[in-house]
Amino acid sequence: MSSNADAPVETATASVEDLQAHVETLEAELADLREAVDDDGQKSMTIIATKGTLDMAYPPLILASTAAAFGWDVVVFHTFWGLEILHEEKSKNLKLSAVGNPSMPMPNAIAALPFMDNVATSMMEKKIAENGTATIEELIETSLDMGVDLQACQMTIELMGYDEDEFYDGVTTGVGAATALQHMADADVQLMI
Amino acid sequence: MSQHEVTQTLDVKGLSCPMPVVKTRGAVDDLSAGEVLKVVSTDSGSMSDLKGWADSTDGVSMLDQEETEESGDTLFVHYIQKE
Q: Which chain B residue is nearest to residue A132, measuring alpha carbons?
A: B15
Same domain, A154 and A73: yes
| Percent residues over pLDDT 90 in chain A | 63
- A142 and B16 within 8 Å at the Cβ level: the answer is no
* Structural domain count, chain A: 2
Tell me the chain A residues in contact with residue B53 when contact means C-beta distances shorter than 8 Å. 66, 69-70
Q: What's the confidence (pLDDT) of residue B12?
A: 95
User: Could you say which of A62, A69, A139 has the minimum Cβ distance to residue B53?
Assistant: A69
Q: Which of B15, B16, B19, B43 is most worth mutating to test chain A (most A CB atoms within 10 A of its CB)? A: B19
pLDDT in tens, A130-183: 988 999 999 999 999 999 999 999 999 999 999 999 999 999 998 888 888 888
What residue type is A100 in one-letter code? Answer: G
Q: What's the confidence (pLDDT) of residue B2?
A: 63
Residue B78: is its pLDDT beyond 60?
Answer: yes
Catalytic residue among B14, B17, B67, B74: B17
pLDDT, mean of residues A27-38: 85
Residue B25: is its pLDDT beyond 80?
Answer: yes
Residues of B with CB under 8 A from a CB of A: 14-19, 21-22, 24-26, 42-43, 53, 56-58
Q: What's the confidence (pLDDT) of residue B59?
A: 92
Same domain, A175 and A86: yes
Tell me the chain B residues in contact with residue A142 when contact means C-beta distances shorter than 8 Å. 19, 22
Same domain, A19 and A77: no
Tell me the chain A residues in contact with residue B14 when contact means C-beta distances shorter than 8 Å. 132
Count other Cβ atoms within 10 Å, centred on residue A81.
Answer: 18
Buried b (16+ CB within 10 A) or exposed e, B15-25: bbbbbbbbbbb
pLDDT in tens, A58-107: 999 999 999 999 999 999 999 999 999 999 999 999 998 888 888 887 88
Identify whether B17 is a catalytic site residue. Answer: yes
Q: What's the confidence (pLDDT) of residue A109?
A: 85
Tell me the chain B residues in contact with residue A132 when contact means C-beta distances shorter than 8 Å. 14-16, 19, 42-43
- Structure letter (DSSP) for residue A107: -
Same domain, A11 and A103: no
Using alpha carbons, list the distances in angstroms from residue B9 to A116, B38, B40, B41, B81: 44, 5, 8, 11, 12
Q: What's the confidence (pLDDT) of residue A121?
A: 92
pLDDT, mean of residues A30-40: 79
- Domain assignment of residue A9, given as a range: 4-37
Pairing type for strands B73-82 and A44-49 reads unpaired
Residue A43: is its pLDDT beyond 60?
Answer: yes
Q: Which domains does chain B have, with CATH numbers?
A: 8-82 (3.30.110.40)
The alpha-carbon gap from B34 to the nearest alpha carbon of chain A, in Å, equals 19
By 3-state DSSP, what share of chain A in percent is helix, strand and coil, each rounded to 5?
A: 50, 15, 35
Same domain, A14 and A59: no
CATH of the domain at A87: 3.40.1260.10
pLDDT in tens, B29-71: 999 999 999 999 999 899 999 998 999 898 999 999 999 998 8
Same domain, A106 and A187: yes
